[in-house]
């Protein structure tokens, strides 16, 4: 029998997700990079997700980069910095993800904790 199990150490509380998302202004991070939402999905309850949409030209350039370099660039632009108070409130099992997409869909997901620290 399969059932969903609540894990308090990994589940990002709704209140924290709401507080965190209110601190961000949606819009342009840099030319061609737009922050569309900051939220938590029910299928990924241990993460906060930054959804960032890039222009197709930028997406093409990113896809030509080596994966490590691409992820470092994305993290530098869209992840919260190491000094952000959110890192003190998240457990080591929780993370912030950046979901990169174009108008055609998502093409890259970057875990911020591994890139910031």
Choice between 44 and 53, residue whose per-residue pLDDT is larger: 53
pLDDT in tens, 50-91: 999 999 999 999 999 999 999 999 999 999 999 999 999 999
Kindly state whether residue 44 falls inside one of the protein's structural domains.
yes
Asked, for residue 85, whether it belongs to a domain, the answer is: yes
Is 3 a domain residue? no
pLDDT category of residue 1 using cuts at 50, 70 and 90? very low
Domain of 89 in residue numbering reads as 14-116
Q: What is the CATH number of the domain that holds 71?
A: 3.30.300.250
Which own/partner pairs from 53-61 qualify as long-range (CB within 8 Å, at least 24 positions apart)? 53/100, 53/101, 53/102, 53/103, 54/100, 54/101, 54/102, 55/102, 56/102, 56/103, 56/104, 57/32, 58/32, 58/33, 59/100, 59/102, 59/107
Q: What is the pTM of this model?
A: 0.85
Cα 47 to Cα 39, 69, 107, 112, distances in angstroms: 9, 23, 18, 10
Give the pLDDT mean for 102-107.
92
| Residue 43 counted as domain residue | yes
- Looking at the structure of the chain, the number of domains it has is 1
In a domain, 5, yes or no: no
């Amino acid at each position: 029998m399969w059932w969903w199990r609540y894990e308090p150490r990994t589940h990002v509380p709704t209140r924290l997700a709401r507080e965190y998302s209110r601190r961000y202004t949606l819009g342009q991070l840099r030319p061609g990079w737009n922050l569309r939402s900051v939220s938590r999905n029910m299928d990924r309850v241990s993460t906060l997700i930054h959804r960032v949409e890039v222009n197709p030209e930028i997406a093409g350039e990113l896809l030509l980069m080596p994966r490590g370099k691409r992820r470092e660039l994305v993290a530098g632009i869209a992840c919260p910095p190491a000094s952000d108070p959110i890192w003190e409130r998240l457990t080591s099992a929780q993370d912030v993800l950046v979901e990169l997409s174009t108008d055609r869909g998502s093409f890259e997901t970057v875990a911020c904790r591994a890139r910031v620290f």
